[in-house]
Amino acid sequence: MKHATATALDALDGLLGQLRQVPGLAERKRGLFYRGSSAFLHFHEDPAGFFADVKLGAGWQRMPATTPAQRRALVASVRRVLARG
């Protein structure tokens, strides 16, 4: 599974906009978000769709990010983790 290309990130633009508004996240490069000084979230593309690798605990977890429902779940998970501190 390859990292998301610029074209893929174009398709994820609405989701990227939502993530940019989450307190505690900083987009260092388009589609690459950091929490403090550590990488926190980035995207992949695959024939099966879009996926986000996000640190939801001790390690990376891959979450689907193709459908609107999957994107809502991703944003909700990110908000929950950041709210816990």
pLDDT digits (tens, 9 = 90+) for 1-48: 799 999 999 999 999 999 999 999 999 999 999 999 999 999 999 999
Which is nearest to 44 in space by CA: 57, 62, 27? 62
CA distance 45 to 10: 12
**Cα torsion 23, 29, 71, 35: sign:** negative
- Look at residue 43 in the predicted model and tell me its pLDDT: 98
pLDDT of residue 1: 77
For 56-78, how does the pLDDT look when each residue is reduced to its tens digit (9 = 90+)?
Answer: 888 899 999 999 999 999 999 99
Query: In the structure encoding, which two tokens stand for residue 44, read together?
Result: 């992949």
DSSP-derived 3-state class of residue 1: coil
With 0.85 as the threshold, say if the pTM is over it. yes
d(CA 45, CA 30): 15
